[in-house]
Amino acid sequence: MIEAFRFYKELGKYSKPGFTTVLDALKGYLNGETAMIFYSTYIMDDIAVEEVQKGRINKFNPELVKNTGFANKMINTRPTSYGQVVALGITKNANKEEVEKFVKFLMADKNYVYWVHMAPGGMNPTRKSIAESDAFLDNPVLKRYGKAKIAEIVGALDSVERFEFIKGKVITDMSKLSANFVIGKAINYMFANDWTPQQTAMWAQKEAEKVLGK
């Protein structure tokens, strides 16, 4: 944890001044005020589509889609990416047969492509055959990136890791810490108070114990 805070603090030196929110980060990147951001895949249309970008910053840079690269993995001890798999859950009391039919319908080739195209590039297919299919790439937003870049983003799914989910097990305590933004707050305070990574980790530890009631 201390190492992660140290890394983040070093990174902060090159960051846009102030406490940036999601929207600040997005606009900062589109405006060319910052060269790199951490962002979700939902940025795809902001970068590529003129109307969307104009809606954000009132101008459009057509080169941005070509000049943007995606680091789909972070590497320290091993390559890993942050991500989230959205699943369709079937509750205990549900009409299992009918629901299964519905899930199969949604996941079927054409329908699945239609579904993920609701947010092109934001939602990406978890089925390999779909990800590689021409039908999936046949979309005005995705086309602008080209097959190779899209494949790179979808490929990150192979190395998705979460603190809350390790080796097939859900770590409930970690879910509680994430839901209460303990780590995010710690980083926020680290910059606000100019804490050392050690001080930050100590605060996070205390806060975590409070949240978990230990």
Partner 1 sequence: MAVMSLREKDARFGWKLVLPTVIIIALLILYPVFYNIYLSFFEVSISDAPNKFVGLQNYKEILTDSSFWKSFGITLLFTFTTVIGSILLGLGVALLMNREFPGRGIVRALLLLPYVTPLIAIVFAWKYIFLPIDGPLMKFLAYFGMDPGNDFVNNPNNAFWVVSIFNIWRNFPFVYLMLLSRLQSINSDYYEAAEIDGASNWQKFVHITLPELYFVIASVALLRGIWNFYKFDEVYLMSKFANTLPIYIYEKAFTGVPEQGVAAAIATILFVIMISLIGIYVKKVLKW
Residues that bind partner 1 (CB under 8 A): 16-19, 21, 93, 175-176, 179-180, 185, 188-189, 192-193, 210-211
Rounded distance between C-alpha atoms, residue 192 and residue 175, angstroms: 25
Query: In the bound complex, what is the minimum distance in angstroms from residue 31's beta carbon to partner 1?
Result: 10
Tokens of 86: 């959205």
Specify the residue, 112 or 195, whose C-beta has the smaller distance to partner 1. Answer: 195
Specify the residue, 6 or 176, whose C-beta has the smaller distance to partner 1. Answer: 176
Specify the residue, 76 or 93, whose C-beta has the smaller distance to partner 1. Answer: 93
Q: How many CB atoms lie within 10 A of CB 33?
A: 12
Specify the residue, 115 or 203, whose C-beta has the smaller distance to partner 1. Answer: 203
Query: In the bound complex, what is the minimum distance in angstroms from residue 120's beta carbon to partner 1?
Result: 29
Query: In the bound complex, what is the minimum distance in angstroms from residue 104's beta carbon to partner 1?
Result: 25
